[in-house]
Structure formats: structure tokens, C-alpha cells
């Protein structure tokens, strides 16, 4: 099915503006996506006529705000196909979701000598929290290496797993390489040795359909701002039985059932993990973002963006000296590349003059840069409003910039 692009693009006010006198070509969706009018409107409407704190007031306004907030949780449950709303914890984003699991589940369940496995293609937010635990608890942090195409090998993974492996934390779609990992197979393999599994879905939820029950993972983390929603809000899905056993991550209001100076009884799920006034407008914006992607259809989005990826790959490879970093068989809409003799930052600066937002960075995945022996790469990452003309524009601008720089 083909998406009507002009319509989708027209829903994003920012894409109507110019940058440096040129129409904005936004190709940094891996960092954050732009927001459609429906998301902006939902947040504005909340602050204009629905604002009150949630779960507290018995007056109508607070009840309406609570309904909207909890309505967003219901949408998120359905979006991930989780089995209960108790399994949906609102966090500040993927980073906080992973830190929550490392801190709460990790400290309760891991002891010296236990092993946590991550892959070589993780974002720093799925490396550093586990290093904290390694240094604090004396656990072993093992790295599943990737091949020169930027893929993991399931046989390598199988051979690493043992009764010492207690936790596996893996990225679903790599932000630096675009690789889509076989998370369902990896989850089954990890479960076979009794390990729990977290999937970092920051780069997957906007681009492909995710079903946490089908994957079978114990935890799934994502951020709203990469899927057309606001910043400062994200989700941790966790299996209810595990979340029930885990201690709270932070203490404060809303996460308690009763408090005396001697003892505090904690609230039920999901509130046990949501201390303090939550990001109400953020959750409402996330709900609107879910409505937005579902109105198009995740399968349609995945197919459309795959077309963009294939076209971009083909066109970029016509540029002399350009090397694509990350050539996995299964890839999401991310193309990382290096051009012989060109510093990525110089290129991105020149792109900006043409109104093109192109990322030049280590993409918070420094070990990936180390593996491919580059300090950084240029990265074009696609969203549902990008089109072939954006890619043509990018390729033409790179050709011109290359002539200036070399």
C-alpha cells in the first residue's frame, strides 16, 4: 500500500519552514523526529483546558487529566501488545528505562560473578548502566561482537550463553548502523539458560511493529521523541510478575500506599515505579503520537522506509570514495557513511547551508566507531515524512560539498 506523502508531510509544521534560505530537509530522525500538528495540538489542548495534577484531585478537572494520562497508558499497552496496563511504566525515556532495570532488577538479582551480555552495537545508554553494576557489584559484563557488516552472529551468541548468564540487554535497531537484530530468537536463546532480556527499542518503535508478547522479552524500553512524540517521556514495558518482585527505583509521592516515619508501603503497579508528579503532557503527547503512527500503519511505515533506505543506499554508493558503515542484511532506515578524506563535521556543516539536517557524530555508540576504525560517521536517518526528493537533495549536496572539501 502506498502512503500519501504529501499529506503526511503537510502535517508537520516545521517541515514547511526554511533553513538558511532552503527548504528544510530533515534527515536526523535517529536523534529525534519532528512532531505532527496532532501531537502539538494534544499538548496545547492539555495546557489550555485540561491541566491538573493526576491521581489526586476529586474535582472534575483532575479526573479528566487522570483519564487522559491513563488513556495514554492504555494506548501504549495496546501499541506494544503488552498483556496489562500494569506492565507499562512511564519514564523520562529509553535512558531512564534502562537505568531503572539495571538499578532495580540488577541490584536485587545480581551477585559477583554473574554475567550480563550486551552487544558491540549498543548505544551508550545500554552500556554505561551495566558498567555501573559491574563496578559496584562485581558482575561480568560480556560483549557480543559484530561482524564487518555490522551484524551479530546467533551462533556466537549461543556459545557465550551459560548458567552464569543472568541478563541480556540488546538493541532492537542500531542507531549507528541500522542493523535490525533477531531479538525474538535471541530472547528464546537467553531464556533457555534462565537469563532475563531487555530490548532497547529506541530506534524500532517508530519504524516497525513491535509485539512484546511475540518477542517474549522481559523488558522493552523506548522514547516518545523519536516516534513523533514529545521529549522527556518514554516507556518501560516489564512483565508483571518481574515488576511485582522488583524494588522501587525512586522514592516520593504517588509511588507509596502509606508512609509513617517507621515504614513505607509501596503502591501497586505501575505507580510503584512512577515517583512524583509524572510527565502528564508528555504522556498525552505520546498517546497522540501512537494515534499518528497507527493511523498510517506500522507495516506500511516499515515498507515505505525500506524503499527510502534502498534508494538512499543505491544513490549514495554512486559517490566516489563513499563507504557505508553498517551493511546488515536486515536494516532499518539508517545510513551511516564515511567519505575518504572528508571530515564528517565539515560535511554536516556544509549540508546545513543547504538546509539539510545531517548528523555527524559517534552517535553515542563509540564502540561501534572503534570497531569500524572511524572517529565518527555521517548519518542520514529517515522518518515517515522523508521522500526520494530529500535523498536526491542530499546526494547532490554531498557531491558539491566534496568538490569544495577535496
Please state at what angle helix 280-296 crosses helix 60-80, rounded to 10 degrees. Answer: 40
- Cα(323)–Cα(338) distance, rounded to whole angstroms? 5
Q: Which is nearer to ligand 7TS, 363 or 371 (CB)?
A: 363
Q: Which is nearer to ligand 7TS, 31 or 322 (CB)?
A: 31
Q: What angle do CA 242, 244, 246 make, to 5 degrees?
A: 70
Q: Which is nearer to ligand 7TS, 267 or 281 (CB)?
A: 281
What is the nearest approach in angstroms of ligand 7TS to the Cβ of residue 317?
22
Q: Which is nearer to ligand 7TS, 198 or 401 (CB)?
A: 198
Q: Phi first, then psi: what are they for 394, rounded to 5°?
A: -60, -50
Q: Which is nearer to ligand 7TS, 207 or 402 (CB)?
A: 207
What is the nearest approach in angstroms of ligand 7TS to the Cβ of residue 341?
25
Question: Would you put residue 121 in left (φ > 0), alpha (ψ -120 to 50) or beta?
Answer: alpha
Q: Is 361 helix (H, G, I), strand (E, B) or coil?
A: strand
What is the nearest approach in angstroms of ligand 7TS to the Cβ of residue 149?
18
- Cα(221)–Cα(243) distance, rounded to whole angstroms? 14
Burial of 389 (0-12, 13-18, 19+ CB in 10 A): exposed
Residues 6+ apart with CB under 8 A from 382: 27, 29, 305, 308, 309, 312, 333, 334
CB of 321 closer than 8 Å to CB of 339: yes
Q: Which residue in the block uniquely carries the three cell numbers 543506499? A: 313
Query: What's the distance, CA 35 to chain centroid?
Result: 16
Residue nearest to ligand 7TS (CB): 175
Q: Which is nearer to ligand 7TS, 127 or 391 (CB)?
A: 127
What is the nearest approach in angstroms of ligand 7TS to the Cβ of residue 388?
23
Annotated active-site residue 217? The verdict is no
Closest CA to 28 of 359, 396, 394, 367: 359
Binding site for ligand 7TS (CB under 6 A): 30-31, 93-95, 123, 125, 171, 175, 200, 202-203, 223, 363-364
What is the nearest approach in angstroms of ligand 7TS to the Cβ of residue 402?
24
**For 49-122, where are the alpha helices, taking DSSP H only?**
60-80, 94-101, 107-109
What is the nearest approach in angstroms of ligand 7TS to the Cβ of residue 223?
3
Query: What residues are annotated to the active site?
Result: 364
Amino acid at each position: 500500500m502506498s502512503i500519501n506523502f504529501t499529506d503526511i508531510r503537510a502535517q508537520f509544521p516545521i517541515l514547511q519552514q526554511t533553513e538558511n534560505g532552503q527548504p528544510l530537509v530533515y534527515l536526523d530522525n535517529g536523534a529525534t523526529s519532528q512532531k505532527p500538528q496532532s501531537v502539538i495540538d494534544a499538548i496545547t489542548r492539555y495546557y489550555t483546558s485540561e491541566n491538573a495534577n493526576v491521581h489526586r484531585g476529586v474535582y472534575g478537572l483532575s479526573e479528566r487529566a487522570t483519564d487522559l494520562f491513563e488513556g495514554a497508558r492504555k494506548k501504549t499497552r495496546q501499541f506494544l501488545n503488552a498483556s496489562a496496563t500494569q506492565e507499562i511504566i512511564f519514564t523520562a525515556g529509553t535512558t531512564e528505562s534502562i537505568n531503572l532495570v539495571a538499578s532495580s532488577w540488577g541490584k536485587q538479582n545480581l551477585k559477583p560473578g554473574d554475567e550480563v551480555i550486551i552487544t558491540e552495537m549498543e548505544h551508550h545508554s545500554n552500556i554505561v548502566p551495566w558498567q555501573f553494576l559491574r563496578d559496584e557489584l562485581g558482575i561480568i559484563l560480556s560483549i557480543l561482537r559484530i561482524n564487518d557488516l555490522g551484524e551479530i552472529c546467533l551462533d556466537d551468541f549461543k556459545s557465550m550463553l551459560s548458567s552464569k548468564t543472568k541478563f541480556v540487554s540488546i538493541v532492537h535497531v542500531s542507531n549507528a548502523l541500522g542493523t535490525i537484530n533477531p531479538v525474538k530468537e535471541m530472547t528464546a536463546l537467553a531464556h533457555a539458560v534462565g537469563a532475563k532480556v531487555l530490548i532497547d527499542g529506541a530506534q524500532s518503535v517508530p519504524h516497525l511493529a513491535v509485539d512484546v508478547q511475540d518477542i517474549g522479552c522481559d523488558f522493552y524500553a523506548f522514547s516518545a521523541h523519536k516516534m513523533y512524540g514529545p521529549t522527556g517521556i518514554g516507556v518501560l514495558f516489564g512483565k508483571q510478575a518481574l515488576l511485582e518482585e522488583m524494588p522501587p527505583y525512586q522514592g516520593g509521592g504517588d509511588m507509596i500506599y502509606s508512609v509513617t516515619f517507621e515504614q513505607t508501603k509501596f503502591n501497586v503497579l505501575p505507580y510503584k515505579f512512577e515517583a512524583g508528579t509524572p510527565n502528564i503532557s508528555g504522556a498525552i503527547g505520546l498517546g497522540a503520537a501512537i494515534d499518528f503512527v497507527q493511523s498510517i500503519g506500522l507495516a506500511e511505515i516499515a515498507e515505505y522506509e525500506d524503499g527510502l533506505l534502498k534508494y538512499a543506499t543505491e544513490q549514495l554508493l554512486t559517490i566516489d570514495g563513499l563507504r557505508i558503515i553498517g551493511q546488515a542484511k536486515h536494516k532499518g532506515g539508517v545510513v551511516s557513511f564515511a567519505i575518504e578524506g572528508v571530515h564528517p563535521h565539515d560535511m554536516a556543516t556544509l549540508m546545513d547551508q543547504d538546509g539539510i539536517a545531517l548528523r555527524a557524530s559517534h552517535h553515542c555508540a563509540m564502540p561501534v566507531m572503534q570497531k569500524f576504525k572511524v572517529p565518527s560517521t555521517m548519518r542520514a536517518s529517515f522518518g515517515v515524512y522523508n521522500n526520494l526528493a530529500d535523498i536526491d537533495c542530499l546526494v547532490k549536496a554531498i557531491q558539491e560539498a566534496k568538490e569544495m572539501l577535496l
